[in-house]
Amino acid sequence: MSYTLSHLKYLEAESIQIIREVMAEFERPVMLYSIGKDSSVMIRLAQKAFYPGKIPFPLLHVDTTFKFKEMVSFRDQFCRDIGAKLLVHTNTKAIENNISPFSVGTQKCCAFLKTQALVDSLRQGQFDAAFGGARRDEEKSRAKERIFSFRDEKGQWDPKNQRPELWNLYNAKVNKGESIRVFPLSNWTELDVWQYIYRENIPIVPMYFAKMREMVVRDNMLIPLDGDIPLRPGEKPKEVMCRFRTLGCYPCTGAIRSTATTLPEIIQEMMTIRISERSTRIIDHDQEGSMETKKREGYF
């Protein structure tokens, strides 16, 4: 027997260690569930960490009400299948006040329906640790984020004041009201995630696979017709062979032209693709360093 782990097995072992450490050190952990592929992988790792037991903490979905219908139905089915406890939180006050990307723009909408909703739900649930599926390769400001990332009582991140993190010794000490965001997938890349989904046969939302979809082509982006996207003059939806590389809210998530209908095809596409993952997310492009600004305020 050769005592070598493949890179995926190594990453898996590292993530399991992180997830167990949280369970051992914190009183009320919760796992953020975004319904996306990274969340699916994170949940599989949590299942592995506690096997043969079930995941011993709840999953939390922050629902902006602008999620794709396919995502919501997948979410409910998936959580039933794995026997997980699902919490859904929506900033109902903001919805009542008609906050939407169309009314206040994408940045403000995100601040109310995602960031504030998240911070509120963590506080209401008195969660002292919250897992997120973010990866360091996603975006520049994430490259410096710790695996155990400290947040003050307002949920804010201070990039200048991060705790040193050495070996696999994570500092889990917090005062009441403060919390830790934990990123077990920190060292995974997008390609690792796809390979793992393929090898482990992990269920994902069908929107990741290519098919003919009704789309609006706007500024080089493919915008889906889910919900009531207002059309600009002259715009006409057309059938495009495409798939979603990341899943967010429908007004802010573009698709990519693709013919990848299976996991191996997606992986092959990943290996040759020349555009980064988050380029289909409208919010990241809003302003230079916008992810960092949002993270400072409490975004995941």
Partner 1 sequence: MNAPIPSFLEEDAGKTLLRFSTAGSVDDGKSTLIGRLLLDSKNIYEDHIASVRKASTHSDDQESLDLFLFTDGLKAEREQGITIDVAYRYFSTPHRKFIIADTPGHEQYTRNMATGASTANLSIVLIDARKGVLPQSKRHAFIASLLRVPHLIVAVNKMDLVGYDEAVFNRIRKEFSDFAARLSVPDLRFIPISALQGGNVVEQSDKMAWYKGESLLTMLENVHVAGDSNFIDFRFPVQWVNRPTMDFRGYSGTIASGVVRKGDEVMVLPSMRTSRVKSIVTWDGEVNEAFVPMAVTILLEDEIDISRGDMLIHKHNQPQVSRSFEAMVVWMDEAALDPEKFYYLKQAGRTTKAQVEKVHYRVDVNTLHRLPGMPLQMNEIGRLRFSVHQPLFFDAYAKNRSTGNFVLIDALTNRTVAAGMMIDREPQDKMATDVASLAKLLRSRLRPEKGVTAAERAARLGQKGVTVWITGRPGSCKSEVAYALERKLFEAGALPFVLSGGDIRAGLSIDLDYSNLDRLEHLRRVAELAGLLNRSGVLTIGAFISPTQEMRNLVREIIGPDRYVEIALDAPLDWCKQNDKSGIYAKAEKGEVRNVPGVDFPFEVSTTAASVIKIAETGVEQAVATILSLLRQKGIFPCQKH
State the nearest-atom distance from the C-beta of 263 to partner 1, in Å: 9
Judged by CB under 8 A, the number of residues near partner 1 is 69
* 9 secondary structure, DSSP code: H
Query: Which 8-state DSSP code applies to residue 111?
Result: I
Considering only 83, 164, 233, 234, the residue that binds partner 1 (CB under 8 A) is: 164
- CA dist 298 and 157 (Å) reads 6
Smaller CB separation from partner 1, 71 or 270: 270
C-alpha to C-alpha distances, 90 to 62, 200, 273, nearest whole angstrom: 6, 32, 35
Residues 179/29, Cβ–Cβ less than 8 Å? no
Within 212-271, the residues that bind partner 1 by CB under 8 A are: 262, 264-265, 267-268
The Cα 229–Cα 208 span in angstroms is 21
Q: How far is CA 84 from CA 54, 80, 180, in A?
A: 7, 7, 22
- Please, what is the minimum distance in Å from the beta carbon of residue 190 to partner 1? 9
Does 65 interact with partner 1 (rule: CB under 8 A)? Answer: no
| Shortest Cβ 192–partner 1 spacing (Å) | 8
Site membership for partner 1, residue 141 (CB under 8 A):
yes
Note the maximum CA span of the chain: 66
Residues that bind partner 1 (CB under 8 A): 1-14, 16-17, 20-21, 23-24, 47-54, 136-137, 140-141, 143-144, 159-160, 162-169, 171, 173-175, 186-187, 189, 191-192, 195, 198-199, 262, 264-265, 267-268, 273-276, 279, 288-289, 292
